[in-house]
Amino acid sequence: MEWEFNGYYTLIAATLVLLLGKWLVSKVRFLRDFNIPEPVAGGLIAAIILFALHQMYGVSFKFEKPLQDAFMLIFFTSIGLSADFSRLRAGGFPLVLFVVVVSVFILIQNAVGVGLAGALGLDPLLGLITGSITLTGGHGTAGAWGPIFEKEYGVVGATGLGMAAATFGLVFGGLIGGPVARRLINRQGRKPVAQTNADNEVSDSNTNDVFENAGRTRLITADSAIETLAMFAASIAFGQIMDVVDAEYFPSWLNLPKFVWCLFGGVILRNILTLVFKMNMFDRAIDVFGNASLSLFLAMALLNLKLWELTGLAGPVTIILAVQTIVMMLYATFVTYVVMGRDYDAAVLSAGHCGFGLGATPTAVANMQSITNTFGSSHKAFLIVPMVGAFFIDFVNAMILSGFVNFLK
């Protein structure tokens, strides 16, 4: 028996999950100490409850997926609308260096997946499905490559396995990022920042910390909200159009997920409006919509997490994913952190890398927010991670995956 929830009830359920997560983090010291994001804390409890109901009564739950996808597109569009070229230039060498660090990890991630798949007697292509296709790439890349593996290479069940592996990564990317960064920060002797009422307010001039201080009050008006929604609509429409063009005219290995085109549309629109028309952007409104969409997307993703499907993962695949999680933690600790400077910003970047190295960019941002809410701001990390995790790395991942597939076949 399946209980289906329409968009209204899905939204209600997601908000209840977020409130539950907020309450849990405020009451459970373990969650605070390890900086587990509120949507992950509440979402896992909800997923466990739904799993128990399924096991006891055979009931499954279906929450409206298009609403989850819509909030994902809004979040990535908000990254694009926040990407002023002047800010990208401000990223400078550290941004390029982080792209290199993440690119090297994609090579390692695929090498580990392919190597373990071969050692365990599986098709080496399954190693890519449990590598950067689903972990760095996430559900969107898994959905794009799965049918290709099934039709062209005869890998049975590639799409279903990809979705399960991507879900595994989404959960564990949110679970390991906080503890990894917390351990690195404790080595530095940095103490939590005392929160005051002033910390929760923001002046109209302080608009360059998009996503960084999700708990701050944002001073927006109805007019700025409506104008910002119009920019979101234009960017998402661009993404829809380019997604069709992409599928029709681009080679299959270079197909980009729709959210990348929405992000790119936001980048184009923002910089045309600011550079050509000298328009003052409503960064505060973009920040509010982006952070709200991020939380709702994660809550809905975990509501749609069917734990009974994950329990069906074959033993060898579970082993590969467990090893990939350990490799991610080690790489973030001994490579990302070290190469990026061994400072507080590097620790926050490591939390972000765990988020999208196993899960997705929204998980990376949530990881970093959980750290900076406790230990203070990291402008460098919030400048670099969203653009690298949501945009640059998709191009790199597509090229690396194409090379691996051609080599294996």
What global pTM score does this model have?
0.75
When computed from its CA atoms, the radius of gyration of the chain, rounded to whole angstroms, is: 20
Is the pLDDT confidence value at 194 over 70? no
| Nearest-angstrom CA–CA distance, 32 and 30 | 5
| pLDDT (0 to 100) of residue 404 | 87
* pLDDT, tens digit (0-9, with 9 covering 90-100), for 134-180: 899 877 677 667 767 877 777 776 766 777 788 788 889 989 999 99
Q: What residues does each domain of the chain span?
A: 2-408
* pLDDT, tens digit (0-9, with 9 covering 90-100), for 116-135: 999 988 888 889 999 998 89
* pLDDT, tens digit (0-9, with 9 covering 90-100), for 383-396: 888 878 877 887 78
The separation between the first and the last C-alpha atoms of the chain, rounded to the nearest angstrom, is 42
Q: What letter would DSSP give residue 197?
A: G
Amino acid (one-letter) located at 107: L
Query: What are the CA-CA distances from residue 394 to residues 13, 303, 334 (Å)?
Result: 31, 26, 24
Chain position carrying tokens 């799993």: 51
- The listed range with the strongest mean pLDDT (258-262, 317-321, 336-340, 370-374) is 336-340
Is the pLDDT confidence value at 49 over 80? yes
Q: Which helix (H) or strand (E) holds 61?
A: strand 60-63
Task: Decide which of 347 and 252 is more confident.
Answer: 347
CATH topology of domain 2-408: Na+/H+ antiporter like fold (1.20.1530)
Residue 60 is encoded by which pair of tokens?
Answer: 């499954």
Amino acid (one-letter) located at 379: H
- The listed range with the strongest mean pLDDT (296-305, 325-334, 353-362) is 325-334
Question: What is the percent of the chain with per-residue pLDDT over 70, rounded to a whole number?
Answer: 87
Task: Decide which of 284 and 135 is more confident.
Answer: 135
| Other Cβ atoms within 10 Å of 246 Cβ, number | 18
Residue 291 is encoded by which pair of tokens?
Answer: 């952070």
